Structures are given as C-alpha cells and as structure tokens.
C-alpha cells in the first residue's frame, strides 16, 4: 500500500530539527503539484487530502495547533486548506537569530581553492538569513552592499584585491568585476609558469649514476634523478651543484628570493612554497595491508537493481564505497533495546546498514523479540571492506530500536557467521548517539551568581552633583564576540540587567584583560565617583596582617571569585551604575568594580561575617586560616 501512495508520508518526528523546515517546503511543493494535477480546488477537500497523505505524524502536529478552525462568520467559503498551511508553515519555520546569522556572515572566509565568484555567492546566500528584509528596499540595498564589501575585505585570500579595495571607495559591482578579472589573470600566470616548469628531460630522469656512500649525497642524487630539470650550459660550466628543494633547479637554495616557487601552491598537497614535481608528501594512493592486525566491520550497501553507469567510451564508473577499520576499541559499545530485547551493538558511522549475527538473532527469537516485518533472504547486497564476495544474509527484519529516551523503527540484516552487532550511520544519528558538527542547538541554563544573604548596598550620591551622560566608546572588532559573550553571561548570572526608562548617570564600558587571557567588563565610573559620598570604614594595613600570620603550623588561603558581585545593590542605587555598550544600556544589580566606595563596603561586610572566626585573617577577598594542629586548622577552616 505504501508504494501506491502518490506522496510519501511526512515523518516529521524522524527528521532532524535543522532540516525540518526545508523538508516541509519540499513536501508541500509536491503536494501542490498533486492537488493541481487532480484539479482538487475545494478548500476542505484539499485539507483532508493533505492530512491523509501526510500521515499520522503530521496529523498529530496539526491537532496540537491552535486556531485551525477559527473563521469570520461573514465568509461564504471558509479557507480550510489555506489556514492549515499557514499554521503549519509557522510551526515548521526555522528558529534563527539575526545576530547569530550576521556574526556567521562576518566570519566567512574565502577557501584556498575557492573561486572569488563562488565566495561572493556564499556571502549573498548567508545575507538572506540576516534579517534585513524588515527594512525599506533602498536602505536594505545600501546596508547589504556595505556589509558584503566589509566581509570581502576581511575574508578574501588575495592581498592585491584587498589593497585595491582599500585604495578608494568602490561599489560592490565594481569590486566583483575587479576580483574576477584579477583571479583570471592570476590563473593565466600560474598556468604559464606551470607549463615552463613541467619540461623535464626523460634522459635525466632515467639516468643512473653511481651511488655515493654519503647519505646526504644519496638524497641529493635521488632528487636530481626524479625531479631536477636539465641544467643550462652556464650552470654546467660553472660547476654549480646546489639543488633547490622547492623548485628542483640548480644554482640556488629554497630560501633564495629569486626561487620561482616562492608563493606558488603545490597542486598535490595544496601547500605554498614548492612545485608539484618536488613534493615529498605521500600520496593518498598508498595503502597499507592491515588485514593481519585489524578486523574489518564496515558494510557498504549496493542496490542490485541499479546497474553500473557507463560513459561514452564504455568505461565503468565506480560506485561510491565507504570504509572503516575496527581496531579493537570497545568505547562505542552500547546496550540497545531492539524489539524489546537488549543486545550489545557497536556504533559504526561507516556502515550503511544495521547488522546482527545469526547467534544474536537466535537469542532474540528465544526471548520473543517483537518485529514489525520479517523477510527470509534479502534483495540487497552487503560487502565488507577488502572483500569482493558479498555477505551471506539469512534475512532481514524491522523492529523498534530504543536507546535512552529515543526510539525509531529500523531494518536489521541477519549475517551468517557474523562476529559483531552493528548500528549503522543513519539509525545512530536518528537515535542521537552519533552527531557530526557542533551541537549549536544545545542550551545550557546557567545558575544565578550567589549573593550574600540579607545584605543590600546603597550608594550615597551628592544631591548637588549634576548627572553626566557619557558617549559610547567603540570596542575593537576582534573583541566584539568576547564582549557579547561576557554580556550574555552577566545577564544570565543576574549580575546586570537591561536599563529601561530614563537614564541620568551613564558611564562608558571598559574592557580589561585578565591574567588568564579572559576579559573583564568594567565601567569607567570616574565621573560618578566624583559625586559618590564614601562610606568611611578602616581598611586593614597589610603590614599588620602579615605580622599576625605565622603563629600556626598549618595554613590555608581562600580567594573569593568575583567578590564584589556577591553584594546586591538596592533598586535606587542601580541607576548610578548604568553603562552604555554597542548593544544598548545596562545597569548593575550587584556592586561593580571601579566604584570608589566598593572596597570599603566589601571590607565592612567581610568584617561583619568573619568577626567571630578565630585564626582567620582577611583583606578584601583574600582570607587566610591558620592552626597549630590539623584538628584545630580544620575546625577553623570549616567555620570560615
């Protein structure tokens, strides 16, 4: 019955979330062609056809949507189908962030072998996802050209093109034509140099000389025999014996500025600085025989109904085959529920099929495995790596596979004399145990930064002081990503919050580097500090603290992380800490670094907390605990 359907069911629960929107658009387009070909125009009939052909998973999604049957009373013909498509489009619409897409655009680079026109095309495709469609057409066109020019300047691989663009302002069309023409000229120059350097005399290549005893001399002779072009009469007359390992010619070394291989890319290893004829990198055609030491468990899937393609000269085109090696590593061995029976499977990204051994299949039958379909024999051909003979398949079956919280329906092949049970590439990805690329969909919810209980700080301001609104200070582009990440981290930890409403005191943002290479976001509060009425509190003298330490035998040192952020500001004082960034206005909810009264406030809080702790000495966020014995030290440390 499945083969008689005009459209395949839309199994939305089995499609990766990143491809769901694209798959829905393709399936919806096929549905439109079907409805048009059968001249189905009634709205309710079109909706029924869509849900019937979509299958149970699409029907489940449709039932969960709201407002699929809300129509105005005045409509004579209710748009059942159009409203259903509108709701499903909104459900399957990809979730994207404009800021993230623009960040991806700014970080795009031209590949080493990528043509300039292809690079510009990739930029234009990425620009479509940057959320500029909300602006008017004239503004959008100007912004798009400006963004593309900036990315081309930073991401192109041609220094000459970058210099030409920076010499004077040019339009995007002029830059595109300039880049294409310069690329064409460069390719012609490389082709001319390649033809001149590829002239090698067969007599010199095949010439056999006496083998020197010295190892360095033998190495030099091998390069002469394999790569070096015939020296000119002038070189022979001068008796030049030095060989350049970059271009293969006599008379200079590879560091010589006159070497023709300077800046040239090898067509074999893609590394700059030498020609292909003298490349010493091993080719990919070298195959070592590991059959004696490694077991092979890769399976490639070939359809018996598809003949090999032949070109005009009757040469057979090889089909694509995937290989992998089993080195005895058992780290990817998992317990998997197949049809209600637990079996050991190996996750293999190189296998096109799921396999179980004949012994495992007999064990599963004894435990009453639940299968959806079972077939004796198989219409597919499975081959192991390094073997032309196909595997002997006893049959195949379909069953539900459960791993963790996920479950999918998959087909398994029973292999006679099989050694391992294998979970193939596609099934492993559907179950979530195999993923390629960075998991950008994973969301980590940070916990709020801790704070000292029942303590709120009030910043006292001089009422006669005039508030100052300071302008934005631009940050380097190289630090923009780190600053954005730090702002998001401070927001998630409840240290800062967006500023809403009118602002009086506004200070600029300052980026300071820590000793560990990270950055610390500070605020230039010098103008605010001029109006702050300080809370006077005696600060300990470091000499007095050092004089008291040393009477015990065991010491421990504690350092409080981001100490000032442990103190919460009251509502009225937060407006004073407002700062301006490239993302807008924010204000601190905790005591910020840079405030003139912050050290005294924090020291006063530490004095109140640790006043009863014997054997403890502290200065701001550094606390030392000492004891005469281990028991005494541990007791004091536990109290602190």
Q: pLDDT (tens digit, 9 = 90+) per residue, 479-513?
A: 888 888 888 888 888 888 898 888 888 999 888 87
SS (H, E, C) 513-535: ECCCCCEEEEECCHHHHCCECCC
- Residues 85 and 89: their CA atoms lie apart, in Å, by 6
Examine the pLDDT at 1 and tell me if it is beyond 70. Answer: no
Q: pLDDT band for position 239 (50/70/90)?
A: very low
Q: Look at residue 610 in the predicted model and tell me its pLDDT.
A: 83
DSSP output for 578-593: -EEETTEEEEESBPPT
Query: By three-state DSSP, how is residue 221 classified?
Result: helix
Q: What is the mean pLDDT of residues 535-549?
A: 77
Which of the two residues, 611 and 39, has the higher pLDDT score?
39
- Residues 329 and 59: their CA atoms lie apart, in Å, by 44
Average pLDDT, the chain: 78
Written as six digits, the tokens of 70 are 């809300």
Written as six digits, the tokens of 413 are 């092949």
Q: pLDDT band for position 76 (50/70/90)?
A: low
Q: What are the residues facing 342 on neighbouring strands?
A: 337
Examine the pLDDT at 286 and tell me if it is beyond 70. Answer: no
Q: What is the mean pLDDT of residues 466-490?
A: 87
Strand 616-619 relative to strand 622-627, pairing: antiparallel
Which of the two residues, 531 and 445, has the higher pLDDT score?
531
Q: pLDDT band for position 221 (50/70/90)?
A: low
Q: Is 464 in contact with 533 (CB distance < 8 Å)? A: no
Q: pLDDT band for position 548 (50/70/90)?
A: confident
Which of the two residues, 569 and 225, has the higher pLDDT score?
569
Q: pLDDT band for position 96 (50/70/90)?
A: low
pTM above 0.85, yes or no: no
- Alpha-helix runs per DSSP H in 343-465: 358-366, 425-431
Q: Look at residue 213 in the predicted model and tell me its pLDDT.
A: 52
User: What separation in angstroms does the CA of 573 have from each of 451, 464, 467, 570, 595?
Assistant: 17, 16, 14, 6, 12
Written as six digits, the tokens of 634 are 């541990």
Q: Look at residue 226 in the predicted model and tell me its pLDDT.
A: 53
Angle at 435 between CA 429 and CA 437, to 5 degrees: 145
Examine the pLDDT at 427 and tell me if it is beyond 80. Answer: yes
- Residues 47 and 49: their CA atoms lie apart, in Å, by 5
Nearest to 344 by CA among 369, 353, 355, 352: 355
**What percent helix, strand, coil does the chain show, rounded to 5?**
40, 15, 45
Q: Look at residue 296 in the predicted model and tell me its pLDDT.
A: 37
DSSP output for 133-153: GGS-HHHHHHHHHHHHHHHHH
């Amino acid at each position: 019955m499945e083969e008689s359907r005009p459209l395949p069911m839309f199994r939305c629960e089995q499609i990766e979330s990143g491809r769901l929107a694209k798959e829905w658009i393709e399936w919806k387009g096929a549905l439109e062609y079907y409805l048009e070909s059968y001249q189905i125009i009634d709205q309710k009939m079109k909706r029924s056809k869509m849900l019937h052909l979509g299958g149970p998973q699409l029907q489940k999604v449709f039932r969960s949507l709201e407002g699929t049957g809300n129509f105005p009373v005045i409509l004579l013909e209710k748009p059942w189908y159009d409203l259903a498509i509108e709701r499903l489009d909104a459900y399957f619409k990809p979730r994207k962030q404009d800021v993230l897409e623009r960040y991806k655009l700014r970080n795009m680079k031209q590949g080493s072998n990528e043509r300039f026109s292809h690079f510009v095309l990739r930029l234009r495709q990425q620009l479509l996802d940057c959320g500029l469609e909300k602006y008017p057409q004239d503004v959008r066109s100007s912004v798009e050209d400006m963004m593309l020019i900036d990315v081309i300047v930073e991401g192109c691989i041609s220094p000459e093109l970058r210099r030409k663009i920076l010499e004077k302002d040019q339009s995007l069309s002029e830059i595109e034509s300039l880049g294409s023409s310069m690329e064409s000229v460069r390719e012609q120059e490389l082709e001319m140099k390649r033809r001149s350097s590829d002239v090698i005399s067969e007599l010199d290549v095949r010439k056999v000389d006496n083998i020197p005893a010295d190892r360095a001399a033998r190495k030099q002779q091998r390069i002469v025999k394999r790569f070096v072009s015939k020296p000119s009469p002038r070189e022979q007359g001068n008796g030049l014996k030095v060989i350049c390992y970059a271009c293969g010619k006599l008379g200079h070394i590879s560091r010589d500025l006159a070497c023709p291989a300077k800046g040239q890319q090898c067509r074999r290893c893609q590394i700059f600085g030498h020609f292909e004829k003298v490349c010493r990198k091993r080719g990919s055609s070298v195959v070592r025989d590991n059959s004696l030491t490694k077991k092979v468990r890769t399976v490639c899937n070939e359809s018996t109904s598809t003949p090999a393609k032949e070109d005009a000269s009757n040469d057979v085109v090889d089909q694509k085959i995937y290989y992998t090696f089993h080195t005895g590593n058992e780290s990817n061995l998992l317990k998997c529920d197949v049809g209600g029976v637990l079996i050991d499977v190996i996750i293999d990204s190189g296998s096109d099929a799921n396999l179980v051994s004949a012994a495992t299949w007999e064990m599963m039958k004894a435990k009453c495995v639940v299968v959806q379909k079972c077939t004796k024999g198989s219409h597919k051909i499975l081959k192991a790596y390094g073997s032309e003979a196909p595997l002997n398949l006893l049959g195949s079956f379909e069953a539900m596979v459960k791993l963790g919280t996920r479950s999918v329906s998959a087909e398994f092949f029973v292999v006679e004399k099989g050694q391992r049970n294998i979970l193939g590439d596609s099934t492993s990805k559907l179950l979530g145990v195999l993923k390629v690329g960075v998991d950008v969909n994973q969301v980590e919810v940070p916990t709020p930064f801790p704070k000292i209980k029942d303590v709120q700080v009030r910043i006292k301001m001089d009422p006669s002081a005039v508030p100052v609104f300071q302008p934005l200070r631009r940050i380097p582009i190289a630090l923009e990503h780190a600053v954005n990440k730090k702002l998001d981290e401070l927001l998630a930890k409840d240290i800062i919050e967006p500023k809403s409403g009118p602002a009086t005191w506004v200070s600029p943002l300052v980026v300071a580097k820590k000793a560990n290479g990270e950055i610390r976001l500070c605020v230039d509060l010098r103008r605010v500090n001029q109006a702050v009425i300080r809370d006077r509190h005696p600060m300990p003298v470091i000499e007095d603290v050092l004089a008291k330490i040393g009477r015990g035998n065991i010491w421990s040192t504690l350092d409080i992380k981001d100490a000032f952020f442990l103190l919460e500001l009251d509502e009225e004082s937060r407006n004073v800490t407002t700062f301006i960034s490239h993302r807008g206005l924010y204000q601190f909810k905790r005591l910020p670094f840079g405030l003139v009264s912050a050290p005294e406030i924090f020291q006063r809080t530490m004095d109140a907390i640790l006043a009863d702790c014997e054997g403890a000495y502290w200065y701001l966020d550094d606390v030392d605990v000492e004891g005469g014995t281990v028991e005494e030290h541990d007791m004091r440390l536990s109290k602190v």
